[in-house]
Structure 1
Amino acid sequence: MASDTLTTDTLVRTTAGVVRGRRVGDLVAWRGIPYAAPPVGPLRLRAPQPVTPWSGEFDASEFGDAAVQHKKFTALRPGKYQPSSENCLTLNVLATPGTSGARPVMVFIHGGAYTLGMSATALYGGQSLVRRGDIVYVSINYRLGSLGYLDFTQFSTPERPFDSNLG
């Protein structure tokens, strides 16, 4: 079993602030990094908005919440494996440690017919790809179902604009 540890070489600076990841065996992982503002309240059915930069270090040692999903998928429900909430716009990065310079990046978007799924599923971890190809592997969570794909743009007016969020 791979050991998960926090080390100082897992700190990276992003445009939003400093992110602290963790060693996962022979790799480095940064998990649950927000890529947009939380889509709650007035942003609930809106297109993703820029994330607000943070001060200090963001703890990216754990996966972010999975998107809210329909209860009929009980056997696959994220609550069994990962908490779920509307605040789910997060990404995960996996790479080999200590390498500088440009590397290929693979972005993985989980399937699930736009109604179920999450990036924390072990099958989507990317460890083998990172080890074999020396790539940077990125996986994301996105809004599912009506919270992600309900389109009210036909009702938009200049006084009350609607935009399509598409996950």
Structure 2
Amino acid sequence: MTAIAEPPLPAAKLGPTPSDPLRASILEAASKPREQSTTIPAAAYTDPGFHEFENQEIFRKEWISLCHVSQIPNPGDFVRVDLCGEPMLVVRSKDMSIKVLSRTCRHRGMDLMPSGFGHPDEGNKRVILCPYHLWSYDLDGKLVGAPEMHKADGFDRSEVCLHRFRSESGKVSSS
């Protein structure tokens, strides 16, 4: 999938605040003419606060490339992705469309494909199965199996689908 090139954030977004010397030094380094350019402070790559700022102001707002379509050529092919703390699954559906689904089970919030359970980062599945209570979802994110839920009054499985992230013509957005 291809990400869209968006304009950079305006300088005002990165403007320093009295309590944020890291942002001030990044802005200073980025504002210099090319012949005076320097690297940005190393803390920009290691500071948890700046990482969260980037997640909120850049990665959660802009188009992000999650995988290439060649990684998911066949129905059921998937790629596990974690973006800004959000567990996602990029999957090729039976109709050959590409879906970007949340990997969070709608029953108890379990990651449907946690790495600690031996799930590969890429592969092929016919159904997405929760390892906790065995709820199952099809490749479009629709709930197709929920053991014992037929006994629950008013339970409507059509209302319990995986969250689908916006995507279009090879682009995927985290919103």
Q: TM-score range by the shorter chain?
A: under 0.3
| TM-score after normalising by structure 2 | 0.26
Highest CA radius of gyration, 1 or 2?
2
